[in-house]
Amino acid sequence: MRTEVSAALLWDGTTLTTEPVIEFEDGKVTSIRSRAEKEQSEGAQHIDFPGAVLAPAFLDIHIHGAAGHDVMEATPESLSAVSRFLASRGTGKFLATTVTAPLDTTLRSLEGLSRRLDEAQKPDWAGARPLGIHLEGPFLSHSKRGVHPPEYLLTPDIALFDRMFEAAEGKIRLLTLAPELPGAEEFAAHVASRGVRVSVGHSNATAAETHRVIAAGATSATHTFNAMRPLDHREPGILGTVLSTDSLYAELICDGIHVDPSLISVWWRSKGAHRAILVTDAMSAAGMPDGEYTLGGFPVTVANGRASANGVLAGSVLTLDRAVKNFVAFTGVPIETVLPLVTQNPAAMTGLQNVAGDIRTGGPADFVALGKDGQLLASFVSGERAA
């Protein structure tokens, strides 16, 4: 059935227009026009969201799981459950994110995820589509490992990365790396040469060490502030470098738990509308009640919306729609200004701008309707209303 959706504003990934109408059929956008251009198409279902903003469905580049499942399970059931849940919260695309684990476990997960990613590109896939893999670990700092198991952390190893890359059949899109590790510069350059984006994080690096890995090819930072050397006025370290390097993208977990709202404003002023990226770092408990869950196989307790293992934060239960709403509330930034942080910016950083981050005629009908406060009003993924 042909469907038309109208609202007060449309941000399509580049342009803000008033009184828009998006028409779609069979999961594809057939036209984007102004309400004044033409009356409602005969025979089309019409849905109106007065006062709302239409925008591309979100892209989450850092998510470990949801709906009781971890992406490292890499089964059809687990990825389907995660995908359906994400679609219900406005996310249309994502990077399945691993956590440090035994090498054989990681390799099996990468092989399974590669198969699931192939399945997700088929027309009958329901829910958000995984577009690649984010390898968070094992090339992280022991001193800033967070909950990543120390016994499985490794120093950068090009041959090992190539083995992982082949297990994933080239589908690794993003890799987190601690810049101070031995061989990090050469490793970053090699990873970047294979088309994988390097993100600095889980690190106690100095400013000089961080700058060298950026020069070698790093383009982003993993969950800014968290698992990073604290800022010092004589040694800016990795955090100072992330905040002051204009070319560097930077993730942030905007749940009010991982980062104090006052520092979220500092991050925003530092990175701005073209380099800031909101992520969830969500684990299997997202969308679930408080209780006992797992992250990459190790136990995590969730209580009052806080996920932790032995007292250390272990991902989050955040969703991107909530992150957007929080960001509007914490900073006072208009909703239309926030939208690139969950669409265009993550797509540009990962090189996925041709398949995510915008709404275009002929493209998938993946979009959301949001209130001025960032509240999710509706979510459409492949033309199906998921929320």
Q: Which residues are catalytic?
A: 281
Location of structure tokens 């994400």: 86
**Which stretches of 152-230 are DSSP H helices?**
158-167, 184-193, 207-216
User: Residue 190 and residue 242: Cα distance in Å, rounded?
Assistant: 22
How far is it, in rounded angstroms, from Cα 21 to Cα 37? 10
Question: Residue type at 6?
Answer: S
**Tokens 């089309």, located at residue:** 44
Q: 47 has which bridge partners?
A: 5
Contact in structure between 37 and 13 (CB atoms under 8 Å): no
Q: What is the DSSP letter of 228?
A: B
Strand partners, 132: 95
Q: What is the token pair recorded at 237?
A: 């370290």
d(CA 218, CA 120): 28
Distance CA 247, CA 260 (A): 24
What phi, psi does 314 have (nearest 5°)? Answer: -125, 75
Q: Tally the residues of the chain.
A: 387
CB 315 within 8 A of CB 283: yes
Query: Mutual orientation of helices 103-120 and 158-167 as an angle, nearest 10°?
Result: 40
d(CA 121, CA 287): 24
